[in-house]
Structure 1
Amino acid sequence: MLINSLTDEYISVSDAEKFGEKNGSTPRETNTIRIKIVAGIFQSIIYFVFLLIYGDNQKS
């Protein structure tokens, strides 16, 4: 299920790139997709570290 949804997203991204080449808006779309992915990973890491620190403070 997860792999299928990921491949569907990649296919839709490639279609958007093909469509963007006609309009000349490809780099902006790919950059926003990249920024969204990196921001999500970064946010999850910060949240995990915050939970670890908060949990340690609660124990002591």
Structure 2
Amino acid sequence: MATDGPFAESRESLAGFWVVDVENEARAVEIAARISQAADGPIEVRQCMDAPPDDVLEQIST
């Protein structure tokens, strides 16, 4: 007997992701729309956390 394991049943899965460094969200959406392999499927654009400012890095490194 084969099972899906301890995870909830799902018919959706993450097929991959891209990380792009752009100046604004509008540009990220434009790029995502062009590179998506899911012609009629949804895309998600999410912001990644930037590196902490230099003053914060100095505080945590001392």
Q: Fold match, TM over 0.5?
A: no
The TM-score, its normalising length taken from structure 1, stands at 0.31
The TM-score, its normalising length taken from structure 2, stands at 0.31
Task: Tell me which protein shows more helix as a share of its residues.
Answer: 1
